[in-house]
Amino acid sequence: MFEELKEEDFSLIQKAKDIIKANYDSQNYRHTVGCALRCADGEIYLGVNVYLAHGACAEMIAMGTAITAGKREFECIVAIGGNNSDIIYSPCGNCRQMLMDYCPECYVIINTHEGVKKTKAKNLIPFAYETPFN
């Protein structure tokens, strides 16, 4: 179920760290998570969360940006929390469902009891509600 990270995955983690470090909002806590999404063609799209009442997660912003650019095939995604942080966040329930709807075969980098690993998005939400898009 879990796979070891490759060099390109560590690079993706670094890009997520860089984007949140560049955009972290310590005064208003509006931008506290950064995300990097690698598409099947190797292009990387970035996002930060936008917090208002509930807001939009960094994963949603990154995927929306990629989709806006015409991308539809996604390979791997990771979210990093905080400024100067190495905390890898597991996707929230909404993001898990989004990943199931758009890219169940996409890898998601997460923390496990055995360290940082990656797994397919479909493994993060057992017995998932499946939309007609799947």
pLDDT digits (tens, 9 = 90+) for 42-97: 999 999 998 866 779 999 999 999 999 999 999 999 999 987 777 999 999 999 99
Say if 129 falls within a structural domain: no
pLDDT score, position 33: 93
For the chain, the domain total comes to 1
User: With a threshold of 0.85, does the pTM exceed it?
Assistant: yes
Say if 134 falls within a structural domain: no
Determine the structural domain holding residue 83 and report its residue range.
7-124
Whether the Cβ atoms of residue 125 and residue 14 lie closer than 8 Å to each other: no
Give φ, ψ of 47 to 5 degrees. -160, 155
Partners of 37 in the beta sheet? 45, 77
Residue 38 in tokens: 């690698």
Q: Up-side HSE of residue 72: CA atoms within 13 Å toward CB?
A: 3
Say if 133 falls within a structural domain: no
Residues catalogued as catalytic: 59
Say if 120 falls within a structural domain: yes
CA distance linking residue 69 with residue 81, whole number of Å? 25
